[in-house]
Every structure is written in C-alpha cells, then in structure tokens.
Amino acid sequence: MRLRSGLPLGVNAAFFDEAKRVRRLEARLTERLEGAGYDEVLLPILDYYEPYQELLGERLLRGNQADQLYRFVDRDGQLLALRYDFTPMLARLAAPQIGSWTLPARLFYRGDVVRYQEPRPGRLRESAQLGAEILDAPDVGNEQEALELFVELLLSAIGSDVASAQERPVEIVLGVAGALDELVASSSDPAATVEALARRDRRVAGLGAEPLLDVVKTGLPQDASSLGEHAPAVEELQQRRERLLEALGSDAAPRRVRVHVDLAEFATFGSGGQEGEHPYYDGLMFRAYLAGAAQPVGNGGRYDGLFRALGADVSATGFSLGLDQLLEATS
Amino acid sequence: MIRIGLPKSRNLESALEALRAADVELDGFSKRRLRQTVRWTGEDGTEDVELFLLKDWDLPLYVEYGIADCGFVGTDVLEERGADLLAPLRLANGRSRMSLIGATAELPRDGAQIRVCSKYPQWTRRLLAGRPWGAEVFRLWGSVELGPLLELAELAVDIVQTGATIREHDLHELEILSEIAPTLVVSRGAFQRHRKRLNELMARVEAAGLVGS
C-alpha cells in the first residue's frame, strides 16, 4: 500500500540525529530552569475553544488569533481547540487555583503549539516551544529575572565557545506595550501610522507625528516627553538594558549579546503586543534575534492583564523560546 | 557583512544608483555575476558587502529567509506576493504605475460583470474592490495588453512606464490605480543586527535626493 509520504505545510518530523538535537537542546534548557528553581507544568494539547473566545471578546487576544486557532467539533458536539500558545492556556488553568499557591510561583513548560500560519518563510504550523513564567504578588515585578534567564537560556542554546559566539551574536530588543499609543493617536491617520511604524517606513513623518520618524530610525523619539505617560516606563527600559548588560558581563556587546531599546519593534495601536503574535503583553516586551534568522527565536513580557481578566490579581512575566527556530538558526 | 539582494529587472539601475550614492564601490560590479563582493566605507571603516542578483519575484523570499539582509524590489511584487519585511524607503527614480487598461475609453457600466486579466491577480482584486461593477480577475503570465486587445478580457491591469505599448496598440489607459516604486526591504532580524550601517546607508541615499514619498 502506497501512502502519501509528505507532511502538511508547516509541519516537520525529526529522525535519529535530528531528533537527538532537539531533545539535547530541550534537556540543556530544562536542566538550567530546574536549577534556577522552576518547576515543570504539563499542559494538554486539547482544550475547549470557549475560554479563548471569551478572551477574544475581552480584547485580550486579537481577532486574528481566532484565525490562527485550529478548532473543531468533537464527537460529543463540543467545540475544541488545539493549543496554539502556552500562555493563555496556562493563565486560564492557573487563575482559578492560584489563590492556593505559594507565590512567587516559577514554572516552565515545553511542548508543541499548533497554529495556522500563512505559508511564509520560517512559519511553522506545529513548532516546539519551551517557556517559563513567574507569577507573583500584584505589583511585584520580576521582569529583570525573566529577561536575564531568557538571555541565559539563549546563550546556552547557541553554545558557549567563542567561535560560535562570534558567529551567532544575539540581538535582544526591549520595548513597552502601548508606548507609542499617544503619538499614534495624535497622527492624521492612526491606522496608516501603525502600518508605517511596523514597516519602519520613513514616510511616517508625513502622517503628522514628527517624533515617530526618530522612532522608526533609532527605536526611540529624540524627546522622551513626547511619549506622555509612557515616558517613565521607557526610561526604565534604558535602566533595564544597562542592568542586563552588567549581568551578562563578558558575554555582552559587542561580540555576543547586543541589547536595543526599540519601540518600533513592538508597534501597535492600543495596549497589547504585536498583532497576531502575543497581544496579551501589557508592560515590558522583549524579543531575540539570532544571526542567520530573519524571524525572532523567542520573546517574552509582562502580562498582568490576562490574569486580571481571569479573576486573579497577580503579576505575571514570562517568555518562550522556539526550539525549531533556534535549531534552524544554529544549524 | 551586509548582504544585499539586487533585482535583475528594470529596478536594478535605480538600486545601483542608490548604492553608489551610499558610497558602495561598484567599479568592479558585473551584471553577469549572480554573487559578488564589493567594498563599502561607512563611519566605522571599510567593510565587505555581498551582492546577489536575484529575480524580482524571488528577492523578498531570500530576505525573509535571512539569506539576504535586505534588497531592492518593486512595490508591485510586494503588493502581489506579500512579505513580512520592513520597507523603510522608496526610491524616487525608476517609478512606474499600475493602470487599468481597456480597448475602449470607457469604464464598465454599473452592475456589469467583466473579466480582468493581470500578472498581479491578488493585488488587482484589492485595487478593484468596491467598484460598482464586478470583476472576474484571472492571471496572465505576460503580454497582458493582449487580453483586451484580443477580447479575452474587457480590461487589463498592468504596469505602465512610458505608455508606448498602450499607444502602439490603440489601447486606453483608463485609470492609474497605484504608483510603483523600487523599495528597500529589510528583514526584522537584519535591521536589529545591522541597524547602524543600514541607517547610515539610508541617510546617504536620502541626502543624495534619491528617496521619494
């Protein structure tokens, strides 16, 4: 019997050495996480669709996330969805019980996410992820710990020898969700301005928000006060950048890790993150690029609002790493 | 080292003009070599730049996959195939237009259902959305003006540069739908990696008056 040998678009299999590479990377990263006091949680791949529909209705997820969900009616007539993102699933399962947890709770997860992606380079529809979250008392920020751990895991994934470091510099980009909202709202065409920001299109200068031209070029406006109420958060980003570089020590710029504060990287209109990716972030956001990869290999941020909407008053900070993307970039 | 994709099409001259304005040394550049290294002197010194000569339709793919850090490609290609790329600037020279072309000088009457041929069917559907007449859009691979000429379709949507082809065949340019410009595209990762050099390159191109709106 001859069966179709190919797999659906955006889906891969790994045999023997390739599979070993995946598991070794996973093992290296989980060992580091456990050593740092993080406990693993195992999440299912099947869930009801209804909770995500509620979150979409609350605008904590964006409409196009619904388009990314693979959902189906099972034989019991229930509408189910495949896990497309660990964080919303973790939040909805943890929120009801977090009152009985000892905080801060440090946890990690690993597994596949399944989401519809347009057939574009580097876009997998099933991909392996590993991530971590820190849940703590409200208003207790753990961003620095999350950020430093994120970078440490990335460096561990790349390999520690100098030769690989020089060939695989890591670019870390920091931003704040909604930092450009006031400037965008003041432009003559907010929708066009967001599009121009996202493309770093220098024609944004013609849309009436002059400071945004500097944002497009350098990531920051020349005059920080133009950011209004977000100015202090962006000032804090600069400090966070310095603390990260200090923590990295000899791994830091220019050879191995470079850290940029860049608001245009996360441009969106309204609170939340980049459309279609992780829109629940409502504070610090960060992202990592490796040489040889055009797409980010990991991202993270703060997302208290997601838990608050689910009835849990906690601070939440986390990140995820795309293991397939990491292996692709380091192969 | 920055790797730049150059289009093999009519956009090549505009792209080369921009690189020269940015002080990329192109004296030894050959249009016959698909891959070559040239020198560029920036604020931080002289370094190698790798150039790839690519088909226009393929260039965005090379940048999206990270093979090239950036490249020059026409907005017609970007509009038709889409690309998750940054597009920081458009060149002023080498522009053309996407136009609605017909065998007669009249637009379809309201409510009419017509056929429209184009090499850019996806973009054409978006350009013609909201018209008071319906359009069945289908792809032709070349000589699009033959569509209305031989009555395969009532209208064509195609690139017009000088208008000579239209005049030669007694066709009519009914409407300019969009301007097409050679555009610098950059991958997100490459922008973060080469931010300073790319900003410097773009500043020089702007200073030379080669950037349009």
Report pLDDT for A191.
87
Query: In angstroms, rounded to a whole number, what is the distance separating the alpha carbons of residues A229 and B206?
Result: 33
| A132 closest CA partner among A122, A120, A119, A142 | A142
Give me the mean pLDDT over the A141-147 stretch. 95
Give the minimum alpha-carbon distance from A94 to chain B in angstroms, rounded to a whole number. Answer: 34
Considering only CB atoms, which chain A residues are within 8 Å of B199?
A: 217-218
Considering only CB atoms, which chain B residues are within 8 Å of A121?
A: 61, 64-65
Tell me the pLDDT tens digit for each residue of A187-198: 999 889 988 998
Instruction: For residue A308, report the phi and psi dihedrals to the nearest 5 degrees.
Output: -60, -40
Give me the mean pLDDT over the B75-82 stretch. 94
Confidence of residue B210 (pLDDT cuts 50, 70, 90): very high
- Which residue among B88, B190, B191 sits closest to A201, beta carbon to beta carbon? B88
Mutation pick from A173, A218, A258, A289 vs chain B, by most beta carbons of B within 10 Å, is A289
- Which residue among B82, B87, B193 sits closest to A201, beta carbon to beta carbon? B87
Instruction: Report the percent of chain A where pLDDT is more than 90.
Output: 58
Considering only CB atoms, which chain A residues are within 8 Å of B184?
A: none
Q: Do B187 and A217 touch (CB under 8 A)?
A: no
Considering only CB atoms, which chain A residues are within 8 Å of B187?
A: 294
Answer whether A222's CB lies under 8 Å from A216's CB.
no
Chain A contact present for B200, CB below 8 A: no
For residue B46, pLDDT beyond 80: yes
Report pLDDT for A149.
96
Report pLDDT for A104.
97
Report pLDDT for A60.
66
Query: In angstroms, rounded to a whole number, what is the distance separating the alpha carbons of residues A154 and A169?
Result: 11
Considering only CB atoms, which chain B residues are within 8 Å of A241?
A: none
Give me the mean pLDDT over the B23-44 stretch. 92
Q: What is the mean pLDDT of chain B?
A: 94
Query: In angstroms, rounded to a whole number, what is the distance separating the alpha carbons of residues B151 and B167?
Result: 17
Closest-approach residue (CA) in chain B for A256? B193
Report pLDDT for A76.
94
Q: Do B88 and A265 touch (CB under 8 A)?
A: no
Strongest mean pLDDT among A280-284, A318-322, A325-329: A318-322
Query: In angstroms, rounded to a whole number, what is the distance separating the alpha carbons of residues B88 and A203?
Result: 8
For residue B165, pLDDT beyond 80: yes
Tell me the pLDDT tens digit for each residue of A52-111: 888 877 766 766 677 788 999 999 999 999 999 999 999 999 999 999 999 999 999 999
Q: Do B63 and A200 touch (CB under 8 A)?
A: no
For residue B144, pLDDT beyond 50: yes
Q: Do B88 and A200 touch (CB under 8 A)?
A: yes
Q: What SS3 class is residue A41?
A: coil
- Which residue among B188, B199, B213 sits closest to A294, beta carbon to beta carbon? B188
Q: What is the mean pLDDT of chain A?
A: 88
Confidence of residue A292 (pLDDT cuts 50, 70, 90): confident
Give me the mean pLDDT over the B53-74 stretch. 95
Report pLDDT for A271.
42
Structure tokens at B112: 């009419």
Tell me the pLDDT tens digit for each residue of A227-267: 988 999 999 999 999 999 988 886 665 457 899 999 999 88
pTM for the model stands at 0.89
Report pLDDT for A36.
96
Report pLDDT for A251.
61
Closest-approach residue (CA) in chain A for B191? A294
